[in-house]
Structure 1
């Protein structure tokens, strides 16, 4: 029986290594065949779950050219206001950044877009309300106005910026408003 268990363990380890090797090599290729796309499609839920999925938007020859982040102005029923900050990888600890930073970046830069994904904005609004109930107990939210701050990243030949130096200027757009009782509206007024 012990020999059988040892063989099964060895087999599972080999399968584990082969599958992960396939994911690393196959997903690293920018152009894939139909068969490769189907195989990776079957493994995609697992890739997302363990954090292996990596889009090509970060890499050359055309990395994302916009540096952006999201925050919100929260108005309470008593008339006071507060600010809610969406988690930014550049401001996370090394451990938090390695565990969740890329997921937060992808969500804010690829999904939390103006006039798109209303379901996501509703869910984010509910999340913010739950988070504020913990950090500011007893205060009731009247409305949340989300803002997107963007900075166009110029190519190094045009403007060289040293690594780690944050952008100094951002364009700010009001992009979604959540009011209680629930009234949803997109607001695209530009604020500086």
Structure 2
């Protein structure tokens, strides 16, 4: 029984392939009767097709560029704080109205009182992932979400 349950679990977790299609008719009656026919795609029906990263670039009056990225946190508490920054990143991509405030906040974070920021840019960097099971190259693109020349410094 244990071997049968493990076999069903493994077969149902496999990607669609000829081997799986041949075993399904044999295993399906037992799987349905025992509740082992879980379709794990319901938890991630469409795998991620791209990764998104937001960074804010602050160009100082002297030409030095500082780049701010959302914090990842440490190994212990990072998982708890990561979600906050992940949701902020998603909203920055979707909601143009919040970008100006975020850009100005970052300028304040990365400049000292004696420094002057001349420009701020918010950039969305996307990395297209190859289809599962392929080793194609990753395509990286950048899109400027917000760009402001700061008159008088921030």
1:111 counterpart residue number: 91
2:54 counterpart residue number: 70
1:80 counterpart residue number: 63
1:1-52 per-residue CA deviation (whole Å, 9 max, x = no partner) reads xxxxxxxxxxxxxxxxxxxxxxxxxxxxxxxxxxxxxxxxxxxxxxxxxxxx
> Does structure 1 conserve the Cα–Cα contact (< 8 Å) formed by 2:68 and 2:106?
no
> Does structure 1 conserve the Cα–Cα contact (< 8 Å) formed by 2:128 and 2:139?
no
Shift of 1:169: 5.2
> Does structure 1 conserve the Cα–Cα contact (< 8 Å) formed by 2:52 and 2:126?
yes
**Taking structure 1 as the reference length, what is the TM-score of the superposition?**
0.48
Are positions 1:129 and 2:104 aligned together? no
Shift of 1:96: 4.1
1:74-110 per-residue CA deviation (whole Å, 9 max, x = no partner) reads 1223x32212222253xx32134222112212321x2
Q: Which runs of structure 2 are paired with 1:6-155 in the superposition (5 Å)?
A: 59-77=43-61, 79-87=62-70, 89=72, 92-108=73-89, 110-113=90-93, 116-133=94-111, 136-155=112-131
Inter-CA distance 154–107: structure 2 relative to 1 (3 Å threshold): farther
1:179 counterpart residue number: 149
State the superposition RMSD in angstroms: 2.7
In structure 2, list runs of 5 or more residues that go unmatched. Answer: 1-42
Inter-CA distance 73–152: structure 2 relative to 1 (3 Å threshold): same
Q: Which protein, 1 or 2, shows the higher relative CO under an 8 Å CA cutoff with sep ≥ 6? A: 2
Shift of 1:73: 2.4
Larger Rg: 2
In structure 1, list runs of 5 or more residues that go unmatched. Answer: 1-58, 161-166, 183-192
Q: For 2:76, what is the secondary structure of its paired residue?
A: helix
> Does structure 1 conserve the Cα–Cα contact (< 8 Å) formed by 2:119 and 2:149?
yes
